[in-house]
Amino acid sequence: MANQISHDGHRDRMRERILKNGISSLQDHEILEYLLFAFIPRKNTNDIAHALIKKFGSISGVLNADVAVLAEVDGMTKNAAVFLASLPEVLRVYLKDVDRAKVSLSGRGIVREFLGAELYGLPYEQVVAVALDSKDQLIACEKLASGDGSGVKIGVRDIVNFALKHKATSIAIAHNHPSGKLNPSQADVDLTTEAYVTLKNIDVTLQDHFIFSGSNFFSFMDSGRMSKIASVQQTITKSLKEGIMIYD
């Protein structure tokens, strides 16, 4: 009984890790271990996952293996083998569907409406961003930071990491002011300036930074501030963590 409680606790902890950090935070054998939970409920799937990696060399090798060969691994069931072998085809169907369903955000008005809908009515400050490809199609929309009614903490590194993670050609960022004020603070201006220049050096365009309050908005681009940032000639020498240097 004690072993079963410990076993269940381990699975619960892994699920919490996934909820907190995403499945990409797991090692390859842990991903397989998690995938097998539903199909092998009463065995230690960690041992089975290690055996699969040892036999097939990698997680892709496991998923590309034949059902019959997968089922030969000690502890595996036929249902589990069918499930793992079917995942590549499921992913292909998923990717085709995502490609068909890509959202075009061509034009600042469309980007603004999209981001405004993400922030509308929130009682606390939040920063969101969209990553776009070369055709202004949406790659991803993510919350980058949340705060309270008085402010939200975010760094240029968070914005750069978002752009790099999604291999974006351009991005737009937005945050809300629950207080009702639309004018950007000096911190907003500094963040936008540093983000624009840093992203430019990795060939990513910062299209705009919006500030929303209810249905009203402020746009760095429409206000002319983005043009001023783009024409800045002096060198920005702030050093970011991870060794990123900001230059004009």
Specify the pTM. Answer: 0.57
Q: How would you write the pLDDT of the chain (248 residues) with one tens digit per residue?
A: 444 445 668 888 999 998 888 888 899 999 999 999 989 988 889 999 999 999 999 999 999 899 999 999 999 999 999 999 999 889 888 877 766 667 888 877 899 999 998 888 787 899 999 999 999 999 999 999 988 766 788 999 999 999 999 999 999 999 998 888 888 989 999 999 999 999 999 999 999 999 999 889 999 999 999 988 888 734 444 444 444 443 33
Per-residue pLDDT, 246:
35
Per-residue pLDDT, 244:
43
Tell me the C-alpha distance between 195 and 184, whole Å: 15
Instruction: Please name each of the domains of the chain with its CATH number.
Output: 2-100 (no CATH), 108-243 (3.40.140.10)
For 144, residues 6+ apart whose C-beta sits below 8 A from its C-beta are 127, 128, 129, 154, 158, 159, 162, 173
In 166-206, which residue ranges form alpha helices assigned H by DSSP?
A: 186-200
- Helix (H, G, I), strand (E, B), or coil: what is residue 134? coil
